[in-house]
Structure 1
Amino acid sequence: MGEILVVGGGFSGLLLASRIPGSEVFEENPSIGVPPHCTGLVSWDTIRVIGSPARDSIVSSYRYIRVLNTAGKDIAVLKPSQRIYKLDRVLLERLLAKEAEDMGSKIHTRARVVSVDFEGSIAIHGKEGFRRAVGSMVAIAEGSLGTISRRLGLSRKQDLLVGIQGYARVSKNIDEDEILVFVNDRIFKGFFGWLVPLGSREAVVGMASSLRSYSNRAFRIYLAVLRKLGYFRDSSLRGTYGGLIVRGYPITNHYRDRVIAIGDAAGFVKPFSGGGLYPASKQVEAFSTALRRSDGGEALKRYSRLIGDEIRSLRLQWIATKAVEAIGVERAMKILAGMGIRSISMDYDHHERVFFRLIWGVLAESR
């Protein structure tokens, strides 16, 4: 197996470089782990796949997700089949980078890849100007915009959300074993807001909504709602950060010849929440396993067999997500509550089951 060239030094690219010794990573930003843009909530299954960098990045953990409306009224409690863990995303990526370098991989920062061809060649604009590199394979892990992967036909145009969050000092007693999710179809438009306790009365507070409908005014309204409900008194959040969230699914042909798209760039995200750590981890696990056992075209055939179930699951989640989005998240949850369904067991990594239950409840109500 020859050298793997990795376009992008975010989570997916670094995880792959930590799995394939001698990989070469090209990251356009000046340092690894910044800018931060993800809350970092994962299941233990995800931590198990990532390994020690994830275990060493755990900040806190949770047993339940409590869903409320913006009047502060409980609607439902979601009960994941395993605990949810919050990871320090900046630390996670830096630990993955160290693990990759310990495996003999190289990481170049301030190195922007401007083009990729199917022969395994890339063009880089870096500190020394323009240059080219050729590898046995190229993994495009460029993130949510997916410019190169879409240009090559390896991903579809995904729906994009805007997420923004920051830190707040909590003034109200809350159960630190619960994540709070707030639904309001007018404010969040197909998504939701969240409050994630960190202990010592600190919390991450954030929201997301469609790129087309997002406004800073909606975020200010949401923060005003939380202040009115007594969750915190701060006039603004500290350390605000955010970015684009992909909401989509991978196409079957997200690889060709000597090039593959991975992570957000390929649509390997949970369509409802936009969470990419679990799908990307499973994809990297499948791809690196295939590369270790086979070369070239045979490796991609083996990878296709290994990743098939995950792709089918993500497509089902996408169908269910679009249906819930059309109904309205708040409305769907209220209908279930009206039917007496207020406690919902769920698989945190495979949302399709709970979503189809939501849809079934709405259909039953409309009869």
Structure 2
Amino acid sequence: MDPPIIIGGGFAGLSNAYFIQGSTLYEEHDKVGFPQHCTGLVSRRVIKILGSLAEETILGYYKRIVIKDLELKTLSILNVREGVYRVDRVKLENLLKEEAENRGSLIMMNKKILDINASSKETCISILDYYDHDVKKTCFNNRIIVIADGVTGFISRRFSKKRKDLYLGLQGFQEKGSYHIDPEEMIVFVDDRIFPGYFGWAIPVSERKMLIGGAWPLKYRDKRRLMKLFTRILMKKGVIKDEKIYNMFGGLINRDFDKTFHKPNIVLAGDAAGFVKPFTGGGLYTSLYQVLSIKNSLDRASEYTDFENLYIRHLRPIISQLYLQRKFTELTYKIGLERFVRNILRISDIFLGIEIDYDYYILPRSLNNI
């Protein structure tokens, strides 16, 4: 099959354009990487897959995740297999765009897709050009459309199910306080009094600065008040100097995996398909897994039916993992995240020792080398 048409110039869309030479990508904004919404934490797998592109953007490295309550009592220490890297997400996406174009993919900025009509014979898209305010219709055969316009994208919302489990992640920067935090540790705070699935984080990003954030269900009306409560507690405990967070950014997290991630001639990718870790909302590795599955399936398929069968077969291991993670997330939230950590994870830590894989809660052998 021919290279795909890609809608959306975020990480998932640009990764498709980078790995699948000759793709055509439409992005409605005039630049990539904005608005910034991601912490940029990735596993060693992501670094290996992207190679020098990712290595150029590394900002930090962490060996452990330390889980604490808001009294700063340590509940568990999770040693991360091969560590966690923090990358400059904006720089990474710009490098992906540049290299995708060097490889022969066409990146069309300021182009918004207004409509898609897909049939077994041909697929047509309506494109609004923000430069000349003109709407054009383009049709093609033997090309799939990869919809990667994110959680709130107009096209992805049309082709996916109604999203019920949306969270808002907010984060920003503040100077470190007097409380010592190891520069190779990320702190995750849990407190069921705020709500049963609450978690916040404090990540050292330099000798003097911390990245502070939290995640809340979108249905909560007082998310900023809860964020202020969280930062005020951290200030009183000496984790940060001031309760006011500056350079705040964030975005929606789609924790509801979409079973309808593919339709005739159409594939939903990345956040648009809910291809994220349900517990944290991180999706860079799962997006890359999906991108490589699309590429491998297109390379071997002559028509869409062949592609669909190959694609589903490629994705079966990661889909099983996402469902497993989803069930795990539902269980911990039902129990209460803080209670789960205190009563289950702590016991496991004492008797078994805990080493986690950043991409998979449980690492099956079939995925060990992916």
TM-score, normalization by structure 2 = 0.90
Give yes or no for contact 1:156–1:250 (8 Å, CA) kept in 2: no
Q: Find the aligned partners of 1:151 and 1:27 in 2 and give their Cα distance.
A: 17
The offset of 1:151, in angstroms, is 2.6
Give yes or no for contact 2:6–2:25 (8 Å, CA) kept in 1: yes
Query: Which residues in structure 2 correspond to 1:1-367 (within 5 Å)?
Result: 1-118=1-118, 119-127=122-130, 128=132, 129-135=134-140, 136-145=143-152, 147-152=154-159, 154-155=160-161, 157-172=163-178, 173-187=180-194, 189-213=196-220, 215-251=223-259, 253-297=260-304, 298-336=306-344, 339=347, 341=349, 343-352=353-362
Q: Find the aligned partners of 1:308 and 1:45 in 2 and give their Cα distance.
A: 19
The offset of 1:225, in angstroms, is 0.8
Q: Find the aligned partners of 1:282 and 1:64 in 2 and give their Cα distance.
A: 24
The offset of 1:294, in angstroms, is 2.1
Secondary structure at 2:163 match in 1? coil
The residue that corresponds to 2:367 in the other structure is none
Give yes or no for contact 1:190–1:210 (8 Å, CA) kept in 2: no
Structure 1 window deviating more from structure 2 (253-262 vs 239-248): it is 253-262
1:192-226: per-residue Cα shift (whole Å, max 9, x none)? 10011112222211101111125211000000011
The one-letter amino acid paired with 1:120 is T
Give yes or no for contact 2:78–2:354 (8 Å, CA) kept in 1: yes
Give yes or no for contact 1:320–1:352 (8 Å, CA) kept in 2: no
The offset of 1:323, in angstroms, is 1.2
Q: Find the aligned partners of 2:275 and 2:57 in 1 and give their Cα distance.
A: 22
Give yes or no for contact 2:23–2:105 (8 Å, CA) kept in 1: yes
Structure 1 window deviating more from structure 2 (193-202 vs 216-225): it is 193-202
Q: Find the aligned partners of 1:313 and 1:268 in 2 and give their Cα distance.
A: 11
The offset of 1:146, in angstroms, is 5.2
The offset of 1:236, in angstroms, is 1.6
Q: Find the aligned partners of 2:72 and 2:257 in 1 and give their Cα distance.
A: 33
1:314–1:230 Cα change, 3 Å: same
Q: Find the aligned partners of 1:351 and 1:246 in 2 and give their Cα distance.
A: 18
Secondary structure at 1:221 match in 2? helix
Q: Find the aligned partners of 1:7 and 1:165 in 2 and give their Cα distance.
A: 27
* Alignment RMSD: 1.9
Q: How many residues align?
A: 352
Structure 1 window deviating more from structure 2 (117-126 vs 224-233): it is 117-126
The offset of 1:348, in angstroms, is 1.2
Secondary structure at 1:278 match in 2? helix
Give yes or no for contact 1:171–1:230 (8 Å, CA) kept in 2: yes
The offset of 1:50, in angstroms, is 2.7
The offset of 1:30, in angstroms, is 2.5
1:5-56: per-residue Cα shift (whole Å, max 9, x none)? 1110000000000011221111122211000001011110122223322221
Secondary structure at 2:292 match in 1? helix
Give yes or no for contact 2:27–2:111 (8 Å, CA) kept in 1: yes
The one-letter amino acid paired with 1:346 is I
Give yes or no for contact 1:80–1:345 (8 Å, CA) kept in 2: yes
Q: Find the aligned partners of 1:50 and 1:156 in 2 and give their Cα distance.
A: 32
The one-letter amino acid paired with 1:271 is P
Give yes or no for contact 1:146–1:264 (8 Å, CA) kept in 2: no
Structure 1 window deviating more from structure 2 (8-17 vs 332-341): it is 332-341
Q: Find the aligned partners of 2:314 and 2:25 in 1 and give their Cα distance.
A: 24
Give the unaligned 5+ runs of structure 2. 365-370
Structure 1 window deviating more from structure 2 (7-16 vs 111-120): it is 111-120
1:336–1:200 Cα change, 3 Å: same
Q: Find the aligned partners of 2:218 and 2:335 in 1 and give their Cα distance.
A: 19
Structure 1 window deviating more from structure 2 (334-343 vs 143-152): it is 334-343
Give the unaligned 5+ runs of structure 1. 355-367
Give yes or no for contact 1:146–1:266 (8 Å, CA) kept in 2: no
Q: Find the aligned partners of 2:300 and 2:348 in 1 and give their Cα distance.
A: 51
Give yes or no for contact 2:177–2:235 (8 Å, CA) kept in 1: no
TM-score, normalization by structure 1 = 0.90
The offset of 1:333, in angstroms, is 0.7
Secondary structure at 2:349 match in 1? coil
Structure 1 window deviating more from structure 2 (17-26 vs 288-297): it is 288-297
Give yes or no for contact 2:228–2:243 (8 Å, CA) kept in 1: no
Query: Share of identical aligned residues, percent?
Result: 35
Q: Find the aligned partners of 2:326 and 2:319 in 1 and give their Cα distance.
A: 10
The offset of 1:168, in angstroms, is 1.5
